[in-house]
Amino acid sequence: MSKTAQFIVADDDRSVRTFLVHALTRQGYKVSAVTTLAGLWDYTMSGRGNILITDVGFPDGDVLDVLPRIKEKRPDLQIIVMSARTNLLTAIKTQKYEVVDYFPKPFELGKLIEVCNRSARLRSSNDVVEENNPLAMSSAQLSVPRVIAIPLVGQSAAMQNTFRLLTRYSATKVPVLIHAEEGAEKEEIARTLCQIGNEKPAQFIAINLSHTPQDEHLNLFFGQKNIIKTAANGSLFINNIELLSNEAQRALMRYLDRPENSTYRPHRIVVGTCVDLRSYVSQGLFRDDLYFALASAYLTVPPLRERLEDVRPLANLICKNLSSEFGVTKILQSDAVNCLQSWNWPGNLRELMFVIRRLFVNADSDKIIAEEVLAEINVLKNNLLEDKKMSLGDSAKHHIDRYFNSLGNDLPSSGLFERIMKEVEKPLIHATMKRTSGNQIKASEILGINRNTLRKKIKQLNLPLSRDGYK
């Protein structure tokens, strides 16, 4: 490999700086280091170095504020960005300024070295990367939203990959599949993705398939309602895509497979699901070709319990938005936010939003205190305990009633019985197999079904076949 690449490592953290300099030197590269933003500017403006690895925050400023000027003066400079505590805006800007890659800290050295070697090869061969993909767009066209949507607020490590992928997918026109648990506010995430990917404001249409009977899906998409045509040149978000009827799945696949035959087409299609859609494919409940077409870009959003450190900025923003909505300013005291962080939020972000709204409405003063938060959390805990005390039938009734209540006056889509049976069947068989340590003979006796039937169901439900999978 040619070693003509000259790296600049810019980081005010001495340990990170030393580690990277040594790692790149061992690869045979020439490496220099700077510790401040001013030093980085002077070094790059002198014409030295051709590949920059830089942190975002420095004692004398933010590198993202000067990246456009650096790129203007040094268009030859390849830039790799790394940051320990980035947010969505940081990720958007790194994509917008067309950096080679972006690594959240702590980074995997092997992956970083791989990107460095690729940049060095590109440098030494003078290759020019041309964009031949008609579904791609210039990253410079990305828009930076004035306000970050609530579900994308935070800087936790759990959200770093979500930020990275969301901004990367925004720079393409391929369909995006958002996989997140219920209560994650997928619609707002989809709206943000589409907003970032459009230089000019565009129409955003969202539909939830749980609100439409399955025998109306074909009409909804391609019949009299024709939501596809309505969303032409705009963005379309389809939530609960796993509920799409077989007939509508076939029609949507034909539509996606023959773009040249359609005179109208949404600028972007985003779909959402809270289930493992791949398991639906393996069970024959969802078309495999449609899954592959819709999941070319796959975005996973972690639940709130996996990013509790984000509860503070989330809670404060929710409270601020409620102040604007009600025309009354109320704030959460720091101890009150600490109490919010002590709960694991089984209802995800939507539960947090609901609790803060209750606290806001019921607070007697302009300060929401820890005691009020603890009272609300105790109610949540008691409700959870009551749910656990229920019989299996009572628990099922409770969840089914809650499902119907969530639909308002709408009716569920057809096929509800089959969907519920499959939702129950998988955890029941898995729990029985686990209790018998994977012994299919014992499990079939407990379940009261034939062993061959059990084995067939295990395959259909994509459960482990070997005993090792139940240890």
User: What mean pLDDT comes out for the span 327-336?
Assistant: 94
Angle, helices 348-362 vs 311-326, to 10°: value is 50
Q: Whose CA is closest to 249, among 285, 303, 207, 276?
A: 285
* pLDDT tens digits along 108-144: 888 889 888 888 887 766 544 444 444 444 555 677 7
Q: How far apart are CA 103 and CA 57, in angstroms?
A: 14
- Residue 388, amino acid: K
Q: Whose CA is closest to 264, among 232, 304, 294?
A: 232
What residues have CB less than 8 Å from 7, skipping those under 6 apart? 24, 29, 30, 31, 32, 49, 51, 52, 53, 116
* Domain coordinates in residue numbering, the chain: 6-125, 146-302, 307-389, 415-470
Q: How far is CA 387 from the centre of its chain?
A: 29
* pLDDT tens digits along 369-381: 999 999 999 998 8
Q: Torsions phi, psi of 297, nearest 5?
A: -120, 115
User: What mean pLDDT comes out for the span 305-329?
Assistant: 94
- Residue 167, amino acid: T
Q: Torsions phi, psi of 416, nearest 5?
A: -65, -40
pLDDT class for 19, splitting at 50, 70, 90?
Answer: very high
Domain range 146-302, CATH class: alpha beta
Burial of 340 (0-12, 13-18, 19+ CB in 10 A): buried
pLDDT of 396 strictly over 80? no
pLDDT class for 364, splitting at 50, 70, 90?
Answer: confident
Topology agreement, domain 6-125 and domain 146-302: yes
Over pLDDT 90: what percentage of the chain?
Answer: 42
Q: What pLDDT sits at residue 414?
A: 80
pLDDT of 106 strictly over 70? yes
pLDDT class for 441, splitting at 50, 70, 90?
Answer: confident
Rg (CA), the chain: 26
Determine how many CB atoms are found less than 10 A away from the CB of residue 99: 19
* pLDDT tens digits along 47-104: 888 899 999 889 999 888 898 899 889 988 889 888 876 788 888 888 777 788 877 7
End-to-end CA distance of the chain: 47
Residue carrying the six token digits 């102040």? 323
Q: What pLDDT sits at residue 240?
A: 93
Q: What pLDDT sits at residue 386?
A: 67
User: What mean pLDDT comes out for the span 229-257?
Assistant: 91
The DSSP bridge partners found for residue 81 are: 54, 102
CATH fourth-level superfamily of 6-125: Response regulator (3.40.50.2300)
pLDDT of 8 strictly over 90? yes
* pLDDT tens digits along 137-184: 455 567 777 788 999 999 888 898 899 899 889 888 899 999 999 999
Q: What pLDDT sits at residue 136?
A: 46
Phi/psi zone of residue 436: left (φ > 0), alpha (ψ -120 to 50 degrees), beta? alpha
User: What mean pLDDT comes out for the span 446-463?
Assistant: 86
User: What mean pLDDT comes out for the span 327-337?
Assistant: 94
Q: What pLDDT sits at residue 130?
A: 43
One of 3.20.20.140, 2.30.40.10, 1.10.8.60, 3.40.50.150 is the CATH number of 307-389, namely 1.10.8.60
Mean pLDDT of the chain: 86
Q: 3-class secondary structure for the chain?
A: CCCCCEEEEECCCHHHHHHHHHHHHHCCCEEEEECCHHHHHHHHHCCCCCEEEEECEECCEEHHHHHHHHHHHCCCCEEEEEECCCCHHHHHHHHHCCCCEEEECCCCHHHHHHHHHHHHHHHHHCCCCCCCCCCECCHHHCCCCCCCCHHHCCCCHHHHHHHHHHHHHHCECCCEEEECCCCCCHHHHHHHHHHHCCCCCCCEEEEEHHHCCHHHHHHHHHCCCCHHHHCECCEEEEECHHHCCHHHHHHHHHHHHCHHHCCCCECEEEEEECCCHHHHHHCCCCCHHHHHHHCCEEEECCCHHHCHHHHHHHHHHHHHHHHHHHCCCCEECHHHHHHHHCCCCCCHHHHHHHHHHHHHHHCCCCEECHHHHHHHHHHHHHHHHHHHHCCHHHHHHHHHHHHHHHCCCCCCCCCHHHHHHHHHHHHHHHHHHHHCCCCHHHHHHHHCCCHHHHHHHHHHCCCCCCHHHHC
CATH fourth-level superfamily of 415-470: Homeodomain-like (1.10.10.60)
Q: What pLDDT sits at residue 312?
A: 95
Q: What pLDDT sits at residue 133?
A: 45
